[in-house]
Amino acid sequence: AQRVTQPEKLLSVFKGAPVELKCNYSYSGSPELFWYVQYSRQRLQLLLRHISRESIKGFTADLNKGETSFHLKKPFAQEEDSAMYYCALSFFTDKLIFGTGTRLQVFP
Amino acid sequence: EAGVTQFPSHSVIEKGQTVTLRCDPISGHDNLYWYRRVMGKEIKFLLHFVKESKQDESGMPNNRFLAERTGGTYSTLKVQPAELEDSGVYFCASSLPGRWSELFFGEGSRLTVL
């Protein structure tokens, strides 16, 4: 079955430190991968998708099919990056499969 | 532009009672989805409407859950009778036709079953 794994429930870093939020997936085909983010008291929102190959708010994510990973990275974390991050997968159907999420805390 | 709105934001009911959650999608969004996050677990797909038609309801847990979208506008999700394991946050999301992967989420309805 398709599955998304985010091994870390909580990731704490200091401002300015690099950040890597891990995401691994299990799927035999070529899925579409996403990162969604939920800031405090805000809605869940799309951060980026792998097919766009773009950097949003300094975050990037590269799809590694060999390692079946889609880790989210940012070279210098900011306090405003503190949020809950969800990795999600779709096999080009109408539904997303989410991971359990990683809470990122960025300390000043 | 108004976003996806959900009501109520929080509902506390006793086991065996009925609860109806409502979702108003963004105007023009034919796609409407319900997702659920149970405490400590992942956000799980429940079902997908395209306009008033159920496109995919493979994620609905059992027949105690009934979703409707009469007229293709707002949607309701009824749980009857509610069980303890139904507690969680129910998210609604909508998207434009053909843009199924770019979801706009509501703030969620937290359901607590005692």
Q: Does A56 touch chain B (CB under 8 A)?
A: no
Percent of chain A surpassing pLDDT 70: 99
Q: Residue range A54-77: average pLDDT?
A: 91
Q: Does B61 touch chain A (CB under 8 A)?
A: no
Residues of chain B predicted below pLDDT 50: none
Q: Residue range A18-44: average pLDDT?
A: 91
User: In whole angstroms, how large is the CA radius of gyration of chain A?
Assistant: 13
A10 falls in which pLDDT band (50, 70, 90)? very high
**pLDDT in the model for residue B1:** 59
Q: Does A34 touch chain B (CB under 8 A)?
A: yes
B102 chain-A contacts, CB cut-off 8 A? 46
CA distance B81 to chain A (A): 26
B9 chain-A contacts, CB cut-off 8 A? none
